[in-house]
Structure 1
């Protein structure tokens, strides 16, 4: 459940703080409602209420009525920074264990179970103090034996079942350096149930099913060892922070500490940090704040505050000269240059750092954007930040293009820093940065997830006390001067960096966590604690589902020969305009390359750099995306600049001029990207699955040959762009203008023919029909082995099957409470990640497919395959789990709201399936009539006893060819066969 953290590239709305206050506009105020006093910041677009309960618990609420759902976060200001030195990874272990229940839920008989759990705790203590492989193995065998007895009383995943039953989505958690966050997205009518469960969850958690959960953490660690990006991240932190825990304590822990867990140390950690004055509950969405704060107070009043022993960070000595590190692995090479800057609590530095980062790299008009990426001097270059309390990590990243060394990339990146330090940039760029920050702010308000994470980020860094600074961030950025930026850069961005080279080669330092001997344990699927029944009995006002009526929800017009589809934006001043073409790479393999080429072209009036600057100055964007069968042009931004943005894009599209140097560079970068793809295990596995699904000729390897690529001309690509509007397409508008006004505005600038040209015929890809088991194997230097099962149905799309397919996926393999997850991970401890789905096509003429997955240690691959095959052939029955799956599916349908231009894309997707209505309505009506026998019949007809294609990625050194032959005829697929080049 650990993630590296989405905050690496946070929206500007959620950036940290600064010290200059616009006192007239933003102030802390106090108010009382519903018997509770709260603080708020005037002119806060989130209208966040900050409560502090009597026991010190922080509660922050932001109401957003867009849909009947609520994003909830429960955060603890403790992460790997707070781990004991001799037990790194402990905070992360604890996060996993907070899903296992208490004495009230997760247990059939707490008194009986407790006696075994006490023995297990003692055995782990013995294990920690035992040396020698033989004696340790003996103790672990005892742990495994007693754990099996304890598991007979445990109800695995009861927490997940309760959350699914109330309609929760995104059940998860993550641990990072300064935080542990527990995440749920709940229906708005589930507030009482949710808070009742969470209040109990944190009361006194029980660390049950511990040794199987440890195995899941081992797998997570091993996945990290196969991830070159994670290795780069940890090496960077270790070099930047030789004494601070940021660099000295890995969030997931060292191999040695993972192998020697201590339950008493975990309990001590919980008791020390999971206290109300160190925690926050954040909720963003559709609720009554006066009601919610009272319920939170009721459910969490039992918590008692304690003094917090916060991590006292050492002050790192300045880096006097570049620190150079190398990381080796099979993935593509890259270079990072990382600096250590003042942390989020230095308010002045934080705001300048945010502006400085945008000046270097904002996606359009930054120094790296214009001088490096636009001119294609490297494969790609970017800037990133990790803003933590004590320090900020500021880094530049780059990938080399064909024939370029990493040292050359490094010099180019540092060259842009020198330009910045000399002040050789236009000061008006700051104004454009502010305009785009306002755009991000408007976009961020639409998402409950963004609201909640922004607020929680502020709590973790500074307990929410400086939310005022967060709210007025955009204003503060507008006050930053060029001199401040230059002075800051010259003070902090000197020769004091860590230089990391990710080089291709064998990592000889990998030490995987070895597989312990684990006997599968009981999961007691049918069991329910009295607590679960109590939760289920809590009344919840039904939420009425809302279905789309395409005839009413979408207005239509004509722009020349093009149909225009329209939905009005009544919420803010943003617009999105799309031109959607029913053709893509299947019609013309060169079209995606033409779409990429456009971003490097100018016209007779503007250079490509001027076009990028102009779009950034008016806070608007354009994007041309060409997929397999659809090409979409999107222009978006502030409505006040609609005419300028659309006219400028239309001018670019119809008047772009050939640029031979840009094409040569693009070809070189594409060739390098192709080379890098062959080094990526993710890309290789994607190719394996497509090969398994379609055979040797498939959408994934439908690529230009080297000869075709070499033969491409600028004139050919430019002509393709100039003539693109002459092909049939749909105009889609979402924005504040009326339909008539929007249609008139588009007509003025959108060049259209009297009649559309016919698109080139699309190549057809037929899914394979499996008649016998087959193994497709690709060799990759990795610790784990990854297995995908693929099978194609003989049946074409039928909407009548949608309800049973959705219910089957929910029950069988679609979440942490599913049969597959419970069996493969919870019972047998064979994988960290596993799933199985019956996949519906997106076109009415296409066939269904079965896709299943297990990622395990290589020496557990055979057990993992056996475990999944048993489930594919025989679906276990659990009436309680079936009812939970059904209720979860109904709740999802009841609370789902398709809004904005999503309404139009829902309509277009339905048309591809031959539908003219919102078919969710029929699914909702059918779900209550379905029985387990219906799901079993579906499973037996479509999955059981069928031949499969096993797509296996692993190291030939660790995966036996004889083992592979057990599952079918083996074909080792070459990279050329997978990628088509």
Structure 2
């Protein structure tokens, strides 16, 4: 589940999603009635969103769209961590976890026997909460553990997840933020009745079962947060900028002290206070008839009774009159974050804040983009608005380059604010932002999922939908003076908070120690009557749609190269690619040349001028060089397609060497490479590559420091000038036909008579996993992260159905064997999974991977638990049938569309296939038996050798414990990174 504090960047303003929007239209709230239900809507709203308020106060927002036979659903409560009791912080988040545990109708095999035990646990937790003596507390917790073990014999773990998985749901999840707790599902359109029956029961009267193992999962999450420097920076920022508001006084996950002293009574009180219909919303977008859907929702949730919600008093913040400084320490590289306070989401000033954010950072032509990033004055920098209901914040963040102090970074960032204040920005910047906002709005409406998310965010922030729709027209009328006045009012030279992220030991960390927990029963084979009744409910079949690569893709030629295209009949967006089957393995300098291009101009246009021109066209480009592929991506509005293509072709063919830009780029690259060595995620990526390929591997296949120093601007520019002389394909999704694309490209995409192959300078092959070994890298952290890697056999397309079903059953979700065992039963990890991975091309090998992120003091237990699962596959016929059902329904309702069709074709080609492999999975997976996947498990996992990639503190994981797993090799950072 995604329980991290949710950063909702400008969702209240810029999240409107619609297609074919004509600006300057009149938006008005209107009322209508259909099928006996009154609703409100906004005129000229292409989302066709209907707003209902049921008799009990429940808000229902429905936005139908027929593009995919699926529905994105959100059930949102307007309550989160800011409404936590001050003596029980983290409570909203706890409750969110527990709403996956069931009720007296599901999640239990014998409620009459389970309830008395749960009552005992309730009473024990109240004793534990109120007891200060540590010895007595330990005795009480032993009793909690004992009674919890007895109660678990009557519980059915993950029955909610099994029901949703069996429906073919994707994205089963939830999140808690400051003022919202949201439960999310993406379901096939034909299971709406089942979905509503489950959700109505879910919120009726949740039972807090299996509490102490879930509490341990929250402990794990807290410990992960202690290893997360960015999270600590945000908490420090909000604490300083909101000393009176609960945004700053308490965090979403809560304090260590409150985590150690939970109260089930307080959790129930919170549920009863806030999970009431007049404080909740059901938001859906997808393939449904709104007249039918509202009646179903009303029937499902009519049992809920409206009641007053506790008043939340917004504590007023005093103006900041002098800079407030905070410091955060941790192993990650240094940076600085600056925050300015603004009014809340429903105000006009919050909407203007969104514009200010775009004027500073828009990825191309913002002041920070042009002055700091493009000119390489910093390693990296950006600005974004964090819009919340009570207040908002403009955040600026900068990362220093080599030899640069954080104070120098701060000064550079504040200078850009000063330029806004003085009006030192392009006269057409606002109009360029308007042009791009029009494009962004269309992009957000391409999928039912993003449309639903936008409407949900508006609901929880209480932003008026009409105001959202009017945003583009509103900012179109602003003048330079309006911006200057606004900035002068809110962005002064002394009313900010600055958080310095320093590199060093965080001496304030108080780790959440693990309690003793006896594994609990998960009762995989049991089913509640409720689940059985859900499965019996009828559902109309959805017929799958398979890709036909001969019919779905137009195939044209341009001077001997393939032009593959799919026509966009929905809107005016295009995405255009130049695709090369060559990359870093062919030339280590190719990724550097690709990145260097953004700092170059031509004889006639500077790099800054080109960025502005692309942005004015509401277009963008990127060049990405991977190991074996390189892709140039251009996207924008169809009306500017020809101009966008011509602009990029001119740049890549006529870019000029710039030694000054190269020297700055080298310095930044060296700093970035040094920073990567301080990033645990990058270190783990290096270990995994080492495990797959050996000491010389794709991850460390980079230029040495000496090679980097010797690099000349002409070297990189020559690579760019020569790029289109090599074999490539054109891929296109947009309103043009394939022949029209060829006609547009013919004048500008000039090619030589014979295209060259790019020879490979280096080839990597996966090495045999011939013995058990541990690759260890030290990192100063609370947790330990372990990755299992095993290279298997060469690609065999015949096993694809088995692989898909096996992953669904074994380790691919919250209802899987791995998650149930390691997290639900044994409480050993917050995050855990395992997959059998098929390769990306037929010459490569399959791979077994597994992961556990756990507390360092659970290292032995968690690795033992995963190894037991890799050795013996637990059998559950019920879970197996659920995995089958869910896989088939998910594939039947999946639609591969847009440029996804082209990329599916290219992936199939690399594997030697000429058809949509999903058809084989759909037809063959349901015929498989448990014996089939058990045999597959035994063949591919049981008794096999593994390489354990371990990132942890050498002070917290003993080498003798590592040696139990295999031969230990401690890698230094130079071995991992290659420099």
1:538-549 aligned at under 5 Å gives the runs 538-549=537-548
Equivalent position of 1:316 in the other structure: 317
CA separation in 1, counterparts of 2:11 and 2:906?
Answer: 32
1:13-24 aligned at under 5 Å gives the runs 13-14=14-15
1:469-484 aligned at under 5 Å gives the runs 469-484=467-482
CA separation in 2, counterparts of 1:965 and 1:498?
Answer: 48
Q: Are positions 1:390 and 2:394 aligned together?
A: no
CA separation in 2, counterparts of 1:195 and 1:591?
Answer: 52
CA separation in 2, counterparts of 1:371 and 1:538?
Answer: 61
Q: Are positions 1:736 and 2:731 aligned together?
A: no
Q: Are positions 1:564 and 2:563 aligned together?
A: yes
CA separation in 1, counterparts of 2:210 and 2:85?
Answer: 23
Deviates more, 1:388-397 or 1:272-281: 388-397
CA separation in 2, counterparts of 1:5 and 1:80?
Answer: 11
What secondary structure sits across from 1:749 in the alignment?
Answer: coil
Deviates more, 1:420-429 or 1:187-196: 420-429
What secondary structure sits across from 2:888 in the alignment?
Answer: helix
CA contact (8 A) 1:277 1:305 kept: yes
- Structure 2 gap segments, 5+ residues each: none
Q: Are positions 1:403 and 2:418 aligned together?
A: no
CA separation in 1, counterparts of 2:802 and 2:913?
Answer: 18
Q: Are positions 1:877 and 2:865 aligned together?
A: no
What secondary structure sits across from 1:935 in the alignment?
Answer: helix
Q: C-alpha deviations, 1:23-54, integer Å up to 9, x for none?
A: 96100011111211111001112111000000
Q: Are positions 1:532 and 2:534 aligned together?
A: no
Change (3 A) 1:752 1:10: farther
Quote how far apart the aligned CAs of 1:11 are: 9.1
Change (3 A) 1:558 1:235: same
Q: Are positions 1:779 and 2:778 aligned together?
A: yes
Equivalent position of 2:696 in the other structure: 697
Q: C-alpha deviations, 1:696-736, integer Å up to 9, x for none?
A: 11111111111111111111111110110000000111111
Deviates more, 1:367-376 or 1:445-454: 445-454
Equivalent position of 1:588 in the other structure: 587
CA contact (8 A) 1:562 1:728 kept: yes
Deviates more, 1:922-931 or 1:585-594: 922-931
CA contact (8 A) 1:11 1:444 kept: no
CA contact (8 A) 2:438 2:472 kept: yes
Quote how far apart the aligned CAs of 1:13 are: 3.5
What secondary structure sits across from 1:31 in the alignment?
Answer: strand
Q: C-alpha deviations, 1:631-690, integer Å up to 9, x for none?
A: 111111010011111101000010000111110011111101101100001111111111
Q: Are positions 1:487 and 2:485 aligned together?
A: yes
1:38-187 aligned at under 5 Å gives the runs 38-187=39-188
Equivalent position of 2:964 in the other structure: 966
Equivalent position of 2:619 in the other structure: 620
Q: C-alpha deviations, 1:357-401, integer Å up to 9, x for none?
A: 111111111110111100000001100121111110111100001
Change (3 A) 1:383 1:15: farther
Quote how far apart the aligned CAs of 1:953 are: 0.8
Equivalent position of 1:331 in the other structure: 332
CA separation in 2, counterparts of 1:368 and 1:884?
Answer: 51
CA separation in 1, counterparts of 2:9 and 2:215?
Answer: 28
1:615-764 aligned at under 5 Å gives the runs 615-764=614-763
CA separation in 2, counterparts of 1:954 and 1:304?
Answer: 50
CA separation in 2, counterparts of 1:273 and 1:392?
Answer: 23
Quote how far apart the aligned CAs of 1:739 are: 2.0
- Structure 1 gap segments, 5+ residues each: none
Deviates more, 1:288-297 or 1:756-765: 756-765
Quote how far apart the aligned CAs of 1:9 are: 5.9
CA contact (8 A) 1:45 1:445 kept: no
Quote how far apart the aligned CAs of 1:427 are: 2.5
Equivalent position of 1:948 in the other structure: 946
Instruction: Give the counterpart of 1:817 among 803, 815, 823.
Output: 815
Q: C-alpha deviations, 1:182-234, integer Å up to 9, x for none?
A: 00000010100000100000000000000000000000000000000000010
Equivalent position of 1:832 in the other structure: 830
CA separation in 2, counterparts of 1:117 and 1:23?
Answer: 60
Quote how far apart the aligned CAs of 1:459 are: 0.7
1:243-322 aligned at under 5 Å gives the runs 243-322=244-323
CA contact (8 A) 2:565 2:733 kept: yes
Equivalent position of 1:433 in the other structure: 433
CA separation in 2, counterparts of 1:832 and 1:571?
Answer: 41
Q: TM-score, normalised by structure 2?
A: 0.98
Equivalent position of 1:573 in the other structure: 572
CA contact (8 A) 1:705 1:980 kept: yes
What secondary structure sits across from 1:733 in the alignment?
Answer: strand
CA contact (8 A) 1:100 1:208 kept: yes
Deviates more, 1:65-74 or 1:736-745: 736-745
CA contact (8 A) 2:25 2:44 kept: no
CA separation in 2, counterparts of 1:300 and 1:355?
Answer: 39
CA separation in 2, counterparts of 1:318 and 1:385?
Answer: 19
CA contact (8 A) 1:189 1:543 kept: yes
Quote how far apart the aligned CAs of 1:3 are: 2.3
Instruction: Give the counterpart of 1:851 among 849, 852, 860.
Output: 849
CA contact (8 A) 2:52 2:61 kept: yes
Equivalent position of 2:346 in the other structure: 345
CA separation in 1, counterparts of 2:456 and 2:480?
Answer: 32
CA RMSD of the aligned region, Å? 1.2
Q: Are positions 1:421 and 2:421 aligned together?
A: yes
CA contact (8 A) 2:16 2:444 kept: no
CA separation in 1, counterparts of 2:972 and 2:23?
Answer: 62
CA separation in 2, counterparts of 1:537 and 1:902?
Answer: 35
CA separation in 2, counterparts of 1:225 and 1:389?
Answer: 27
CA separation in 1, counterparts of 2:860 and 2:47?
Answer: 51
CA contact (8 A) 2:16 2:441 kept: no
Equivalent position of 1:379 in the other structure: 379
What secondary structure sits across from 2:733 in the alignment?
Answer: strand
Instruction: Give the counterpart of 1:909 among 907, 929, 941.
Output: 907
Alignment length (residue pairs) = 973
Quote how far apart the aligned CAs of 1:22 are: 9.7
Q: TM-score, normalised by structure 1?
A: 0.98
What secondary structure sits across from 2:240 in the alignment?
Answer: helix
CA separation in 2, counterparts of 1:866 and 1:143?
Answer: 25
Q: C-alpha deviations, 1:320-376, integer Å up to 9, x for none?
A: 100111100001111111011111122x20221111111111111111011110000
Quote how far apart the aligned CAs of 1:10 are: 4.3
Quote how far apart the aligned CAs of 1:66 are: 1.1
CA separation in 2, counterparts of 1:258 and 1:733?
Answer: 52
